A and B are shown apart, each in its own frame.
Chain A
Amino acid sequence: MSHRLFASATAALTAFVMLCAQTPASGQTAPSATKAVKASANTSKAWTPPHTPDGHPDLQGYWTNSTETPLERPKGLGAKEFYTETELADLMKKDQDRVALNKEEGRPTEPGTNADVHYDYTQYGLDRGQAKLSWNRRTSLIVGEKGTLPPMLPEARKRNAAIAAKNRGHELDGPENLSLSTRCIVVAQESVPMLSGGYNNNLQIVQGEGVVAIMHEMNHSVRVVPIDGRPHPPADIRQFKGDSIGHWEGTTLVVDTTNFTGRNPFQGSGDKLHVVERFTRVDADTILYRFTVEDPETWDQPWTAETAWSKVDGPIFEYACHEANYALPHELHGARVAEEEAAKKKADK
């Protein structure tokens, strides 16, 4: 197990080296990337991706984007953008030891916290470390010296505060007030850009002529990306996952997504969100996934993040979220019972 993980980590490192060498596209990362290339140039070797019958790089197969790397760089790491290979190996070992210990003794939790009264994750197979992780040397998914989100614009803070205030105290009035994920409508993993969550972080890519389809195990949805030169639909068409169109730049699939609705925000974004994703298969077992996010009504500058996807065994299991979403009626019924009890208490006084 550990050998396999390490092999895939090495592949991921090679992937980064290759990407850095090929596409210093986003100016933000060039200095650190160059350092990384120099640091491990001897691990890089040319790899030619297989091609689909219509001549494009073949990205097809089953992948996981599950990672322990946080979106933003933890405080204390400063401008350190990459761990060394030794540090990475140490982190991987620590995570394996943690999962092994949790399996033996249960997951340690702090009394009184939400985690303490929730499942013992390891027992339920919900600890992320129980599934294959896609390791890489990055200290944060966000690239660059800072490794953090740019500051949010004051008007965006105001907008998000107003949205939150409107629902406060009415969260359980009816199903429409519950979150999109509780309602099984759309979850973070299948939104754009695509980042991993707690579990079921598996994807399948299928390519046809003029189209790439990405299936997400969570929440069993397919994102169809046309690659036939068509434009985005008119601006009045708004979707939870936006509208994606793609094209090839050399061996990289570039996907441009606009037409978002503000109702499924990414890190506090609004409906002007614009995401450009870049998929590069850098070796047999790794896709490098890099995206740049901009929203002039939320941040004063674009920002870029990068992660590696690792090959996993199929198939993708159906995650039919509506199948038995008992949580929804339970939550609403719980709220009605609480209201009745409160009304009775008031009447008794």
Chain B
Amino acid sequence: MMSAAAPVWAHHSFSAEFDSNRPVKLHGTVTDWELVNPHSWIHIDVKNEDGTVTNWMIEGGSPNALLRLGFNKRSLPPGTEIVVEGYRAKDGGNLAVGKNITFPDGKRMLLGGSANEPDADKK
């Protein structure tokens, strides 16, 4: 009833940057997490079928909000394996928005993931 208002969540247009007709599912290893504004970006190495490796950039949420929930740059260390389900950028590059990010065992990455439990006192 009170949440009827549809707020603007991201500061930019999703549909101008990403293509909802090009869903991607990437299994990768974290190489970097840029905790930068206005959006954080997770870099992952993804093994291709031919054995080569491609580095992908995944758009994430605002670092301010994540910091306030108790996350920091150490919450997602390089080497962590993750699965990203999202949508590829319109320019066809190795960029995507991550709708869901999970660990290979199905645990959700930023909420309840055992390896990345935020500081309990800040939750």
A residues bordering B, Cβ < 8 Å? Answer: 68-71, 74, 91, 95, 98, 103, 106, 114, 117-126, 128, 130-131, 139, 171-172, 179, 181-182, 184, 187-188, 197-200, 217, 317-321, 323-328, 330-331, 333-338
Contact = CB atoms under 8 A, between A and B. Distances in A.
Interface stretch (B25-33, B48-56, B86-94): B86-94
Interface in B1-54: 1-5, 7-20, 23, 34, 36-39, 41
Nearest to B66: A125
Interface of B: 1-5, 7-20, 23, 34, 36-39, 41, 57, 59-69, 71, 87, 89-93, 95, 97-101, 108-112
Instruction: Give chain A's interface secondary structure class.
Output: loop
A330 B89 CA distance: 8
A16 B5 CA distance: 22
The 8 closest A-B pairs by CB, nearest first: A124-B61, A334-B90, A324-B36, A70-B5, A125-B65, A327-B12, A198-B9, A334-B91
Contacts of B2: 68-70, 74, 91, 95, 139
A323 B66 contact: no
Given A69-B2, A200-B62, A331-B12, A324 B34 contact: yes
A316 B50 CA distance: 47
Contacts of A334: 16-17, 19, 89-91
A327 B39 contact: yes
Contacts of A118: 9-10, 14, 97, 99
A334 B97 CA distance: 14
A335 B65 contact: no
A337 B92 contact: yes
A335 B38 contact: no
B66 A117 contact: no
A74 B4 contact: yes
B104 to A, nearest CB: 16
Contacts of A114: 14-15, 20
A119 B61 CA distance: 8
A126 B64 CA distance: 10
Contacts of A182: 11-13
B65 A131 contact: yes
B41 A324 contact: yes
Contacts of B14: 114, 117-118
Contacts of B7: 128, 197-198
Contacts of B62: 124-126, 199-200, 319
Contacts of B36: 320, 323-324
Contacts of A333: 91, 93
A335 B16 contact: yes
7 contacts: A74-B4, A95-B3, A117-B20, A121-B61, A123-B101, A172-B16, A317-B67
